[in-house]
Structures are given as structure tokens and as C-alpha cells.
Amino acid sequence: MGLLSEGRPLEWSETQSHANHVRQHGIVQFIRMFREIEQRQGDVLKWGDEIEYNVIHLDPNQQVARVSLRAQELLRQLQEPELAGQSNLPSLWRPEYAAYMVEGTPGVPYGGSLDQFNTVEKNMNNRRNEVRALLLPQEKIYSMSIFPRLGCPPFTEPVAYPDPEKSFTKSLFWPNEATYQGHPRFRTLTRNIRERRGEKVAIHVPLFPDDRTNMTEDLDNGVDPAHAKAGHIYMDAMGFGMGLSCLQVTFQACHLDEAKVLYDQLTPVCPIFLALTASSPMFRGLLADVDCRWDIISAAVDDRKAEERDPSHPQYISKSRYASVSSYLSRCALKYPYNDIKLAHDPAVYEQLRQNGIDELMAKHISHIFVRDTVSLFSEKVDQDDSKDTDHFENIQSTNWQSMRFKPPPPNSNIGWRVEFRPCELQLTDFENAAMVCFVVLLTRAILSFNYNLLIPISLVDVNMKRAQKRDAVLNQKFFFRTNMTTTCEEHKDPVVEEMTLDEIVNGCPAKQYLGLLPIVQEYLKDQEIDSSTMCTLSNYWKLIKLRSTGALKTNAKFMRDFVLSHPNYGQDSKVSEKIQFDLLTHLDRVQTGEMKAPTLLADLRYVTAKAE
Ligand code: ADP
Ligand code: MG
Ligand code: MG
Ligand code: MG
Ligand code: MG
């Protein structure tokens, strides 16, 4: 997760005193860098995914499951070939927030040729097997967004207990040991976010109300009523958000303008993918009344002070630093009031950017992400050479966790302008993850090649993000979406925006003369040379996406929730006990390895099994 600087992290008081210094130099660095690279042309499509795996210890004797805190040891082994200087590796490995997570990406990015879509799933499968080869006998690797009883001590292996007085979270539930210890970034961010906010983070997830659910359990158990809320699952540490896993895809554009178009066009697509990939139905051992983790991470890193969270206060900032995109960037966005939400931004920074030739929309975006203070600063990085360093820019950039991230080319590299698609929840099988990745990559090709326009007012994208997280959103929610997408930006027409089901948005709605996201991808592929094996792989992905979007197949969230609800030990009290969790994870492992069929999740679609050879 972001920049891993070397050196000694500063205390919060020192970090805070450098907030303006980091901002001022970060902006100067951005302006200098932008001037150097804005004309950069001729890069080709490259792209790659990121998967955050969980390592889990299943003890069949005790019938308990625990997150296994071995990421640091596993990474030591996983990164060996890379650190030894080997190139063209099949995968690369990075630390993540939690001590039970490892992040894997393909070793080299994919390019533009279509037969590579036949290797995505195999590469994911290979990544899984690389980890699997290093696991202890009782450990399993999962690609799932949540560990159900995260924050129900003991939930770690080895066992560690929270320390509300001395820990860097002050959490009632989260032990220091569950945060990755191999780099100071993670604990420093955690402490500084809490310090800046002036209190612990507070996460309140609506509790799934069942017949015998105690809606005031935390309060009855003595949790401070200033913190816990009736009818909600209460969590109080960064790890409850950043310790969840997701699927991300990064694309390289040909040039700056194309990167802006990709960023904008994918923004309204984010909530659609969020709903399709929903896989987070339970937190802290309780069933939630939501299916996604988005708002939970947002609250888990919300470093805003009380006044910044107060809509009546002049310093109000409407969103956490983890949030959906707040403003579009491309020229298209100037032709209609698409940017219709009040953007928290620093007017002086905006003016400085404008005076230095940065266009209006880019200046808005940068001055928006720069309303944040640094929450992680290393002593060796305070004084920088703005004529070549970019760390202060990266410092702020990498702690703005948006649904899309706009990534400028790193200086002196052969990497071009990139955008990152970040809304997806992680899926249990490589088959599903590969399907989502191939779908979004080909969607970008279709949108660019047909010159489609999916923009809607950004306030409606925010509404969709909320709706996407609701329980069974696929079945019950409608989303605002543009139906007249064939009018290009150049021949501008005002957007026609309708509320449609996920089925209609993905598969099309003839009554509204709306084509559908999957049909436009299929239309795009018709004109391409593509071998039959790749076509076969893709058509299985399209079946999955189609059946998922109609509700004929369950989301991961529904699949897991239904397992709990129908478990013989379930007491209609919303509780996911140790035994239920153990059985759920055992079941999910059988599904992910292909040992057991899961017709309600995957139908009988062929998928590469994740079984060890
Ligand atoms: P971050 O954590 O900052 O988002 P990572 O390095 O973990 O970034 O992952 C970036 C993803 O982008 C990987 O899948 C990688 O294969 C891919 N990638 C690497 N280089 C390029 C490039 N030039 N263009 C597009 N994608 C790239
Ligand atoms: Mg990550
Ligand atoms: Mg990464
Ligand atoms: Mg990252
Ligand atoms: Mg990423």
C-alpha cells in the first residue's frame, strides 16, 4: 500500500509541524514533474492486477481458524528471487497493512495482445501456488476480502491480545501484532491518523437484524456509549479497514489525455463493479446489513478532526481520505456540470497550479488531494531537492485512497501515465478474479475504441457507491447510469441518466436504447483477431458476469452469508461463532481448490483449480 520510504519515521508532533512544508514542496515537485512529462507520447497499453492474499491457520482439532501472522517470513522467501536481481519473474510480492496479508502482482505487466487474457487466471493460480508451497501444514491461502472474526481475540496465530492503553491503535480489539511489523509505515500511519483525528477511528457498520439479534450487545458489554452505537458493529482501528483485501487493476495510457479519459470513464463504472464483486458480509464476528467493505475502510483511515467532519463548520471536508473520486479530469467534463459536488480544496494551491500552467481540472484534483496533511514522514525525507525528488508529492498522493487513482509517470523511468481501478472486492477463486480483471480491461478498450461516453454527474456516482454496498444490491438496487453513451464527447449531448438494475447496466436495456457494458465488450471483440482458446476462456468469464449481474449466481457476500444463515449452529442472533467460521473457511477452501462444486456461486463454468500440484 503505497510508498515505502527508508529511514526513521518522525513522531507525530514533528510530522505535524512539517505539514505545510510537505504540502508546499509536494506542489512544487508536482508542477516541475508535470512540465517535464506532460508531452510524453507513444506509450502503449500495459496493465496488471494486484491481489491481496490472506494466510489463515485452520486447526482441525480445536475447530478454530486464525489469521496467521507470518507475512514477514513468507515475504522474505517470496521476494528472494527479486532481491537477488532476477528479472522476468512470474510474480512480484509486496507487504500490505496486516501481518497476515501478502500482495502479489504479475512479474511483468501485460501488454496489448489479446492472447494474454488466456494467461491471467493461470498467473493468479501460479501466484497462489507460490505461497502455498511455503505454508505450514495447517495454513491455507485465501483470496477473500474479509476474515469473519477479525477483531474477536484471540483471532491471530500466534495468539496476541489488544492493549487499549499502550498499543498504537488504542483499540479494544486489534493487537499491534496483527499490523505488519516489517516496515514502520503501517504502524506510523495508524498512530498518526489517530493522533490527527484527536481520537480513535470509529467504524459503525449496520448490524444484520435477525430474530434473536441483540442490537445493543457492545453497549451491554460495557463499550463506551460515546463510541459504540445501538444496531451497529463497532470497530476502532485502522486494521479493520486496511486489513481487508481487494483486487486492483492498473492501466498505462498512451498519453496524458488518454489517461484522463480512462480515469473519467471508469469513475461511473466503479460502483457497478463494487456491487458485482461484493464479498464482505460480516465483520468482527457479526453478520452485517451490508455486503461491501468500502465505507468501512473509509472510516478506518478517517483522520479528519471533529470540525472537519462537521458540515456546519467552515473547515468541513466532506470525505475521508479514502473515498470515491470527487472530480473528473478530462475535457469532456467541461461540457456539462458533471463535476457537481463541492470540492474541498485549497484555493491558494489551486491558484499556484493555475499560474504554473496546470489546466483547471487537474489543478482542482491536485488541490483537492492536497487538502490532506502528511500522516507519515521519515526524518531522512524532510529536506528534498525539488528539482529531482518527488517524495513529498508521493507522500500525499499515496495516502489519498480514491476509487480511481491517477498515477503520473515516475521520473526517469520508462513507465507512462497510468490510472488505477480500485473499487473491486476480492473474489474467492482465480476464475472470478480473472473474469473481473479481463472484463474491466476490455471495457476500457471498447470505450476508447468506440469513443463512448459514460459520464454522469459525479454526485450520482457517490449515490451509486452507497447503493452498491447495500445487502443484495445486485438483486434489489437500481443505479444511475448514462443510457446515451454512444454520443461522443466531441459531439456533446447532455447525458440521459436512468436508474437501472445491475442486470440492465451490464447486459443492456433495449427499452431504454441502452447497449450494456458486456455487449459493448463483445462488440469490440468481434473486430479483433482472437484465437479460439482465448475466446473460450473469455466466454466463460462473460457467462459468470452475466449470471452474477442477473442474480442467477450469488455474489461472494451472499454465498458466505447464506452459509452462515443455514449453519446448524447458527442461533438467529447474527453471530458467526468460532465453529461456524471454521466450517465456512473449510468450505470456502474446498470451493477455491475445486474439490467441491459450488453451483450457486460458479454454476458449472470451467475454472482452473487452485489445487497444489
Ligand atoms: P500500487 O500498490 O502502487 O498500486 P503495484 O506496484 O503494487 O502498485 O501494482 C501495480 C500494478 O501495475 C501491477 O499489476 C503491475 O504489473 C502493473 N504495472 C506495472 N508497470 C506498469 C505499467 N507501465 N503500466 C501499467 N501497469 C503496470
Ligand atoms: Mg494493496
Ligand atoms: Mg500494490
Ligand atoms: Mg498499493
Ligand atoms: Mg494498487
Mutate to test the pocket of ligand 1, among 50, 79, 402, 403 (most ligand atoms within 8 A of CB): 50
What per-residue confidence (pLDDT) applies to 610? Answer: 40
CA of 393 to the centre of ligand 2 (A): 19
Name the amino acid, one letter, at 179.
T
What per-residue confidence (pLDDT) applies to 612? Answer: 36
Cα–Cα distances (Å) from 361 to 96, 104, 420, 442, in that order, read: 32, 33, 18, 27
Give the closest residue (by CA) to ligand 1 atom 20. 109
Dihedral of the alpha carbons of 398, 254, 339, 320, in degrees to the nearest 10: -10
Cα–Cα distances (Å) from 418 to 265, 288, 408, 435, 437, in that order, read: 14, 35, 6, 21, 16
Are residues 575 and 210 in contact, defined by beta-carbon separation less than 8 angstroms?
no
Are residues 496 and 484 in contact, defined by beta-carbon separation less than 8 angstroms?
yes
Residues of the chain with pLDDT under 70: 1-6, 606-613
What per-residue confidence (pLDDT) applies to 487? Answer: 87
CA of 250 to the centre of ligand 1 (A): 6
Give the closest residue (by CA) to ligand 1 atom 26. 47
> What is the model's pTM?
0.97
Give the closest residue (by CA) to ligand 1 atom 11. 48
User: What are 25-75's pLDDT values in tens digits?
Assistant: 999 999 999 999 999 999 999 999 999 999 999 999 999 999 999 999 999
Looking at the CA of residue 107, tell me the nearest atom of ligand 1: 16
What per-residue confidence (pLDDT) applies to 4? Answer: 62
CA of 187 to the centre of ligand 3 (A): 18
What per-residue confidence (pLDDT) applies to 607? Answer: 58
Work out whether strand 203-206 and strand 401-402 pair parallel, antiparallel, or are unpaired. Answer: unpaired
CA of 103 to the centre of ligand 2 (A): 6
Task: For residue 344, give every residue at least 6 positions away whose Cβ sits within 8 Å of its Cβ, in sequence order, or none.
Answer: 316, 317, 318, 319, 326, 368, 371
**Which protein residues touch ligand 1 with a CB less than 6 Å away?**
46-50, 94, 105-106, 109, 248, 250-252, 415, 418, 420
Residue 183's region, left for phi above 0, alpha for psi from -120 to 50, else beta, is beta
What per-residue confidence (pLDDT) applies to 413? Answer: 87
User: What's the gap between Cα 409 and its chain centre?
Assistant: 21
What per-residue confidence (pLDDT) applies to 606? Answer: 63
Looking at the CA of residue 43, tell me the nearest atom of ligand 1: 23
CA of 106 to the centre of ligand 1 (A): 9
What per-residue confidence (pLDDT) applies to 417? Answer: 96
User: 165-199: string of b/e by CB count within 10 Å (b at 16+)?
Assistant: eebbbbbbbbbbbbbbeeebbbbbbbbbbbbbbee
